[in-house]
Amino acid sequence: MNGLDLRVYVITACAPELGRTHEQVAIAALRGGATAIQFRDKVMDDHQFTETAIRLAKLARAAAVPLIVNDRVAIAIAVGADGVHIGRTDGNVYDIRRSMPREMILGVSATSYSEAVQMSATGADYIGVGPVFPTSSKADAAPPIGVDELGRICGGIDKPIVAIGGINRENLRRVIDAGAAGAAVISAVTHAPDMVVAVAALRGIWH
């Protein structure tokens, strides 16, 4: 999709131990200069998820930043989200693409070069690749692929690649140098002492 800026891609998460909600994370991310927001929650029921998605869509729209909803396609369409991200086990990507309005963004996941090649033919607008580094944000994450494999994927796939997994301000430059169009972060923002400052620092590295 032309003009899609995926550089600072913040995935919201609740951090109850820090008293942080999806909305608080999104507000801080937008203030810090996030270029894309993904709403992901695997435990909310559909009603709670929908109500939260509506509020996040309003926040993102006011900041002119796309809101991507993870997995729940029908809710994403209903609340007017800008796009959907589909994991490797979240459904048939071809069917999902056909069910979505043409203008909606579709992101898909891959954990290897071969998977990225397969996903590049699905009509997706970007491919999320990882984990690049070890991560504690996803209990069932695949083994880290490293920056060399990330670079091979970025160089061989004609789609924007969003790196994910263990990315922070210390290793982001390596991700950029590998050719990624964006870097998705969770704990680097949600567990930062100051979330606005953390996002601004990530954006500064891209510049």
Write out the catalytic residue numbers: 40, 109, 138
| Distance in angstroms (rounded) separating the CA atoms of residues 207 and 196 | 17
CB 136 within 8 A of CB 150: no
How far apart, in Å, are the Cα atoms of 201 and each of 34, 48, 89, 197, 204? 10, 32, 33, 6, 5
The identity of residue 74, as a single letter, is: A
| Distance in angstroms (rounded) separating the CA atoms of residues 1 and 146 | 27
